[in-house]
Amino acid sequence: MPRLKLKTFDGSGIQFELTITPMRDLLLDILTQSASPEAVSWLRETLRDQEREFKKRPFYYAFSGVSRHFDKRARITATESQLAGLEARTPGFTVREWDQFRLARVILLILLGEQKRDVFLETIKSLLNTADLREQSAIYSAYSLLPHSEDLVESAIDGLRSNIVDIFDSIALNNPFPAAHFTDAAWNQMVLKALFISRPLYRIEGLDLRKNDDLALAISYLAHERWAAGRRIPAEAWRNCVGFVSEEISNDLHHLLETGEPTDREAAALVLASDGEPRLADLRGRLEGEIDAIGSGTLSWERLGEKLEFPVTLNGSPAKP
């Protein structure tokens, strides 16, 4: 696909050109930096063939054939400028920590998105029905870059029912699609499942924008269930209660202070830092040190999430602390 050139004028009336690189070209540039020339050459030739005349069967072969050309163990590298370019085109989208397999397949899927709606949807459905774990992860990762979003929501929700962490992560983490298209009910279920399977909430795009009263109440209920069983809820779960500190949740924050866990105190402080309600003054007074840390920038939800994040083990399950 050619680069787009927009002609415009500066304040002096002198004409200049602003070049905008389409998403597929930018992703291909990133892949070219990491993959072998032979693999990239194969992909470019495949893209040219499919642009001239899209054919489903050769597309299926190419999509699965990525594994024969690219290194499944190799991570891609992208400059900060390139990552910023991706963010500018699709806010919240990133390729950080991706491997070559995923990026090559997403590039192919963008080309698929340029086809007629019925061809696109039929092909996506067929791919999901036959895809292996890596292929499914690539498909879901591409959803925010693809057209006909309203037709993809149900399959994304279905994907979240998977017990395979990599598939769940490809939808829920570092992916702007759910925040943009899920109903509150679907969103809340995704966040709660992330808590149940110990996935890092700070990597869910749009978490703060999609907070809602029902989710805050569900977090409180879950906390009470865990406490009754002698267990704890992940501290960053309370991020979903910011702006929804009812009397019940206020009591929950009091309980957090009694546990003596530093991360629970930090979470309580982060909830309270943006809430000036007089009835919460006592709680804020007991968290002066943590609130000072928030003001200095040494404590934030992102920092707390990074500290709490469990690595994924070799069998694909999140490690336990």
Mean pLDDT of 260-279: 91
Which pLDDT score, from 0 to 100, does residue 274 have? 84
* Domain locations along the chain: 1-164, 183-321
CB atoms within 10 A of CB 280: 15
Mean pLDDT of 137-153: 97
Which pLDDT score, from 0 to 100, does residue 73 have? 86
Per residue in 162-209, pLDDT (tens digit) is 999 999 999 999 999 999 999 999 999 999 999 999 999 999 999 999
Mean pLDDT of 61-78: 94
Cα angle value 184/215/317 (rounded, 5°): 95
CB distance 181 to 153 below 8 Å: yes
Q: What would the DSSP string read from start to end of 222-239?
A: HHHHHHHTT----GGGGG
Which pLDDT score, from 0 to 100, does residue 21 have? 62
Mean pLDDT of 47-61: 96
Using the structure block, give the residue that is written with the tokens 């491997």. Answer: 99
Q: CA-CA distance, 157 to 139, in Å (whole number)?
A: 13
Counting Cβ atoms within 10 Å, is residue 36 exposed (0-12), middle (13-18) or buried (19+)? middle
Residues whose CB falls within 8 Å of the CB of residue 263, separated by 6 or more in sequence, listed in order: 235, 304, 307, 308
Residues whose CB falls within 8 Å of the CB of residue 28, separated by 6 or more in sequence, listed in order: 40, 43, 44, 107
Q: CA-CA distance, 17 to 248, in Å (whole number)?
A: 58
The answer to which of 59-68, 114-123, 277-286 has the lowest mean pLDDT is: 277-286
What pTM did the predictor assign? Answer: 0.88
Query: Quick one: pLDDT band at residue 311, thresholds 50, 70, 90?
Result: low
Which pLDDT score, from 0 to 100, does residue 7 have? 41
